[in-house]
């Protein structure tokens, strides 16, 4: 075989290798960017953590939450302002809010009846937290997180605080 014949065979192998490498890169990029990422569970955990941080500072409950004269549990805007929350989301969700939170304060003597209760957001997301998950049909339900912790008030009384948070946003996160 002469040099020209060898060069032609090597150039064919060279193009085949280039096509294999380019196809591999395309496949990896497609797999990486082609799948959706559902971050609602993480968002729900973050919301619970931020609410807990706002309510209790180093294990002591902020006195404003226990003072019924200064804190109205039914006023969502007051709670959002106190904790520096901004629940405004993208224009795709104009008609309903995509979050829900519920906070309950229990004394250790009575853990069935909350002493203080407040919630906010879309109440419909709360029901999604109690449905059976695991089936494929439930992937569009809200992702929920429940957090419990103990804290003291200024007088040293102990409280069990339960925080339930849920994030909807299924149009954007679930495909």
Q: Which domain holds residue 17?
A: 1-35
Domain count for the chain, please give it: 2
Say if CB 144 and CB 129 are below 8 A apart. yes
Shared domain check, 95 and 82: yes
Q: Which is more confident, 84 or 170?
A: 84
Nearest by Cα to 83 from 52, 105, 114: 52
Say if CB 100 and CB 87 are below 8 A apart. no
Shared domain check, 146 and 83: yes
Shared domain check, 166 and 128: yes
pLDDT score of 123:
84
Model confidence, pTM: 0.72
Shared domain check, 73 and 20: no
Q: How many CB atoms lie within 10 A of CB 140?
A: 12
The 8-class DSSP code of residue 52 comes to H
pLDDT band at 45 (very low <50, low <70, confident <90, very high): very high
- Rounded to whole angstroms, the Cα distance separating 76 from 118 reads 8
Shared domain check, 111 and 83: yes
């Amino acid at each position: 075989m002469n040099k020209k014949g060898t060069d032609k065979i090597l150039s064919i192998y060279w193009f085949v290798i280039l096509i294999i490498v380019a196809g591999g890169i395309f496949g990896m990029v497609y797999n990486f960017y082609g799948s959706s990422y559902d971050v609602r569970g993480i968002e729900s955990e973050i919301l619970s953590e931020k609410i807990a941080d706002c309510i209790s500072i180093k294990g002591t409950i902020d006195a404003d939450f226990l003072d019924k004269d200064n804190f109205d549990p039914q006023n969502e805007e007051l709670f959002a302002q106190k904790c520096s929350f901004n629940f405004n989301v993208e224009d795709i969700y104009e008609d309903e809010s995509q979050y829900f939170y519920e906070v309950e304060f229990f004394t250790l003597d009575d853990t069935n009846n909350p002493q203080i209760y407040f919630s906010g957001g879309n109440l419909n997301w709360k029901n999604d937290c109690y449905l059976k998950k695991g089936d494929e049909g439930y992937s569009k339900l809200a992702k929920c997180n429940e957090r419990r912790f103990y804290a003291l008030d200024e007088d040293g009384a102990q409280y069990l605080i339960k925080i339930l948070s849920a994030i909807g946003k299924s149009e954007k996160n679930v495909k």
